[in-house]
Amino acid sequence: MGGRRSDADARDSRAAILRRATDVASAEGLEGLTIGRLASDVGMSKAGVLGHFGTKERLQLEALDYAAEVFVERVWRPAEHAQPGLGRLLAICEAWADYVQNPSFSGGCFIAAASFEYDSRDGNVHDALRTVVRRWRRKLVREIETAVEAGELPSESDPDQIAFTLESLAAGTSPARYLQEDKDVAARCLRAMRLAIGVPAAVAERP
């Protein structure tokens, strides 16, 4: 019993550190993470925090993995059971807008923040982040291609361009929300995403 309890306690402590690290990094950047800050925040020693992750880079990589899982749960999972193609694409946009309106982290979208921070850097965190964002781009492109093949979108639609525009719109919501204090940013984002896809809002909003 003692061994199982100790293992469970260790997992709980590790999860608490990871949640806090991801939240801090969403607002202050992955480079802003310090072992001392996290240790103080979660009520542990520096050695205790390091014992779970070994290095700061490992902590950064696992925070990225955690944030990517949260994004999938918030944006992909609500849409994955929709009809492939346009139906699923519109459901993704709705879930994405909800994620913008009710972010899981205090700094907004972790992936967007990390992308701005690491786009021109080299190293393992940059490479891992690139894998995450490329995987999401491929998923968007597939849904757009499916919609084109089904005749739901015009044959001349450019899936890569549409996916790029959707990502750019989502990435632009954080500055609008926090710098410009735009309270309607989620609704604006959703309308702009529908226009980028080529679906009039009135059509997209029909039950």
> pLDDT tens across 113-138, in order?
999 999 999 999 999 999 999 999 99
More confident residue, 30 or 8: 30
Name all domains of the chain by residue range, CATH numbers in brackets: 2-204 (1.10.357.10)
More confident residue, 23 or 54: 23
The pTM is what?
0.87
pLDDT per residue as tens digits for the range 31-71:
988 888 888 888 888 888 888 888 889 999 999 999 999 99
pLDDT at 207: 42
DSSP string, the chain: -HHHHHHHHHHHHHHHHHHHHHHHHHHH-GGG--HHHHHHHHT--HHHHHHHHSSHHHHHHHHHHHHHHHHIIIIITTTTTSPTTHHHHHHHHHHHHHHHHS-SSTTS-HHHHHHHHHTT--SHHHHHHHHHHHHHHHHHHHHHHHHHHTTSS-TT--HHHHHHHHHHHHHTHHHHHHTS--TTHHHHHHHHHHHHHT--HHHHT--
pLDDT at 1: 47
User: Is the pLDDT at 181 greater than 60, yes or no?
Assistant: yes
